[in-house]
Structure 1
Amino acid sequence: MLKIENLHATVDGKQILNGVNLTIPAGEVHAIMGPNGSGKSTLSYVLAGRDGYEVTEGSVTFGDVDLLAMEPEERAVAGVFLAFQAPVELPGVGNANFLRTALNAVRRAKGEGEIDAMQFLKLARARMKVLNMSDDMLKRPVNVGFSGGEKKRNEMLQMALLSPRLALLDETDSGLDIDALKLVSDTVNSLRGPDFSALVITHYQRLLNHIVPDAVHVLSGGRIIKSGGPELAQELEKSGYGAIQAAAA
């Protein structure tokens, strides 16, 4: 599904990624953990195509295409979804209109017909019921006045509606209480299957109790310094990053 080779990237002229190598097979969920400033969010932004993040070396293959050669909107309709650590507010943009426009853009790219407002509302309300979201959230501007938990639920609603092939979850668990964490995890788990992969970026092992990853990777200094199974997250929770960083130095 995703193959990253020797990826280097800069932000504002500062080198952040220093040779990331990572392969995520189709149908697998991988987790990335690491200390603050290690490049975790930068990696997700580079994969999504965010402006200001310059790739200076390396390659990223998504399926059989060169991901780095695609514009951000092309990546989105191809099935790449980014859930932000801090979802942005879009004043004046209605949530329902935003979500239906995004969904229809993806459907057009797949050669499927667009859905009308009534069809969208039926679909959205079914997804929102699972996420414990009120219908009122569709009437409000995107994320404006939403609590932290509501913003993360809205991100999961987007993901559930768009059904991406690759989900990049950038610390989606940040600021969530236990109930909201379980709802977010249930959304990810409901999408798991042979045509869905995910890269889950987190500081905390608690999220990985709910979204059990196929592999865990430690990112430090802009490169992956250790990989393992779910037990690696438990080791990090207990002992921190010091020993692993020392061994990789």
Structure 2
Amino acid sequence: MTEQLLNVNGLKVNVEDREILHGIDLQMNAGETHVLMGPNGAGKSTLGYALMGNPKFEITEGSIFFKNKDITEEAVEKRASDGIFLSFQNPLEVPGISLGSFIRSALERRRGEKLRLWDFRKEMKKAMEVLQMDETYADRDLNIGFSGGEKKKAEILQMLMLRPALAILDETDSGLDVDAVRTVSRGVEEYQKNEKGALLIITHSTRILEALKVDYTHILVDGRIVETGDAGLVERINAEGFEQFYEQAVRMYRQ
């Protein structure tokens, strides 16, 4: 029996008293990969932050159920410990805390126990090899002096180590060259091998999707999901762009 992981119903979200999302419905099962696409300013990142519980993104209506539990009012920290992970479009720099220490601390909180340094290092080395990362990055301050591609690799490294039940990737391929996209895609492919882990990939591009298995594609325009389909919907966007979906958004607004 398929396990439903995420159930979003009628979600409306405000940012600084302006409604950005106008009633989002989204269901995801364990093991599935969903893609959320749309033009800039459609509200894609807003949905990601709302699912993660960022207090700047005020939920005014609707609900979020994760693992059959209502998390609509839960704090970011609780959602993270429940198994939700968000890869930021612009990863934060954290001086004074090494990448390795940051991941180890997060793992210990998730597992509720101390980790032997040797075992942790061995596990992280394996994940870094997938991403073609030099081991010395583990001892560098988190994202300090990292290039854009290195920051994105560090985010995917955290995902591989934490093995969340739901990984939300917000514009992970933004600003990356072709080689960096391929490397990040390998990390995402590695995560997809976990049949119980679900992926929500938020993007306006299709480069990161080329090597991935996609189950569902959702088109978000003006704060509304106007169409849902399979991977073939990505091909339509590549060929025709998002213009075709604007009329659907207008019709939904008038209803």
TM-score class, shorter-chain normalisation, is over 0.9
Aligned to 1:195: 196
Give matches, 1:76-155, under 5 Å. 76-108=80-112, 113-155=113-155
Q: How many residues are matched?
A: 245
Once the two structures are TM-superposed, the CA of residue 178 in structure 1 deviates from its matched residue by: 2.1
1:231 corresponds to: 232
Which secondary structure state, in structure 1, belongs to the residue aligned with residue 210 of structure 2?
helix
Shift of 1:78: 0.9
Aligned residue for 1:40? 44
Give the TM-score of the pair, scaled to structure 1.
Answer: 0.95
1:99 deviation in Å? 1.1
Question: Superposition RMSD on alpha carbons, in Å?
Answer: 1.2
Whole-angstrom CA distance in 2 between matches of 1:135 and 1:12: 42
CA distance in structure 2 between the partners assigned to 1:205 and 1:212 by the alignment: 12
* Residue 253 of structure 2: aligned partner: none
Q: Are the equivalent residues in 1 in contact too, given 2:222–2:249 (CA < 8 A)? A: no
What's the offset of the Cα at 1:132? 0.7
* C-alpha contact (below 8 Å) 1:28/1:214 kept by paired residues: yes
The equivalent of 2:159 in structure 1 is 159
The answer to which of 1-10 and 127-136 deviates more is 127-136
Q: Counterpart amino acid of 1:209?
A: E
Query: 1:116 deviation in Å?
Result: 2.2
Q: Give 1:183 shift.
A: 2.0
User: Does structure 2 conserve the Cα–Cα contact (< 8 Å) formed by 1:91 and 1:142?
Assistant: yes
User: Structure 1 stretch 1-10 or stretch 177-186: which is displaced more?
Assistant: 177-186
C-alpha deviation, 1:247, in angstroms: 3.3
The letter of the residue matching 1:150 is E
In structure 1, the partner of 2:20 is 16
Identical-pair percentage = 42
Question: How far did 1:95 drift?
Answer: 1.5
- Specify every segment of 5 or more residues in structure 1 that has no aligned partner in the other structure, as ranges: none
Q: What CA deviation, in whole Å up to 9, does each residue of 1:27-50 have, x standing for no partner?
A: 100000001111000000001111
> Partner amino acid for 1:131?
L
Matched residue SS, 1:151? helix
Q: Distance in 2 between matches of 1:119 and 1:147?
A: 28
1:92-116 deviation digits (Å, cap 9, x = unpaired): 22221111101111111xxxx3212
Q: Give the Cα separation in 2 of the matches to 1:191 and 1:208.
A: 14
- Give the corresponding residue for 1:173: 173
Q: Which residue of 2 aligns with 1:183?
A: 183
- TM-aligned CA deviation for residue 179 of structure 1: 2.2
Checking the alignment, whether the CA contact within 8 Å between 1:220 and 1:245 is kept in structure 2 is yes
Give the Cα separation in 2 of the matches to 1:247 and 1:222.
12
Q: Deviations over 1:155-211 (max 9, x none)?
A: 011000000000000010112222221222222222224311010001112221122
Q: Secondary structure at the match of 1:210?
A: coil
TM-score, normalised relative to structure 2: 0.93
- Cα distance, 1:118 vs. partner? 2.2
Query: Alpha-carbon deviation of 1:140?
Result: 1.1
Q: Which amino acid aligns with 2:223?
A: G
Q: Deviations over 1:60-110 (max 9, x none)?
A: 1111111213211111111100001110101122221111101111111xx
Local SS of the residue matching 1:118: helix
